[in-house]
Amino acid sequence: MEQDLYNTTINHYGYLALLLVFSTLNLIYHYKSYCYYRERKPIQVQKKISKIYWLGVLCFNGVLFYSTISYLYSYVKFTEYDYFDFDTTYLLWYALQFFIFGSIGFLEFFLLRKRIKELRIEANRTDEIKSIGNSSI
């Protein structure tokens, strides 16, 4: 019994630590990619966002989807054993919130990635046009 409690506590702290790391990477990613959200073209298009931040965003949203599945599984188990309480209805509410935020996070990630690619292509075209008259043979 004591060993099971110890393993459960370690698992909970492990999930919290991973969530802390992924959410920190997610915040840093959003801070670094903020310049790409503007309507005007960003000043430093060539600035690259590290792959670890991209991975952090994907993992953070993946954890949100994992939490959704976990909450739905717990809700099914509670209803299966007729342990339906007012507190268990909150599981559905949490699952819905995590699903919505995870979906929005993935959608935002892929749309921003597409925008960055388009801005880089446009910046390369502009640089090529500017360098046409400056080339020496």
pLDDT tens by residue, 81-133: 776 666 667 777 878 888 999 999 999 999 988 888 888 888 778 777 777 76
pLDDT tens by residue, 17-72: 888 999 999 899 888 887 777 766 655 666 677 888 889 999 999 988 888 888 88
Confirm whether 136 is domain-assigned.
Answer: no
Helix, strand or coil, per DSSP, at residue 86 = coil
Confirm whether 94 is domain-assigned.
Answer: yes
Confirm whether 91 is domain-assigned.
Answer: yes
- Residues 126, 104: Cα–Cα separation, whole Å: 32
CA angle 2-90-7, nearest 5°? 15
Please state the domain count of the chain: 1
What pLDDT score does 126 carry?
77
What pLDDT score does 106 carry?
93
What pLDDT score does 5 carry?
47
What pLDDT score does 40 carry?
65
Residue 7 confidence class, pLDDT cut points 50, 70, 90: low
Confirm whether 66 is domain-assigned.
Answer: yes
Confirm whether 40 is domain-assigned.
Answer: no
Confirm whether 137 is domain-assigned.
Answer: no
Higher pLDDT: 28 or 3? It is 28
Q: Find the domain containing 84 and state its range.
A: 2-35+46-130
Confirm whether 16 is domain-assigned.
Answer: yes
Confirm whether 41 is domain-assigned.
Answer: no
What pLDDT score does 74 carry?
78
- Give phi and psi for 88, each to the nearest 5: -75, -20
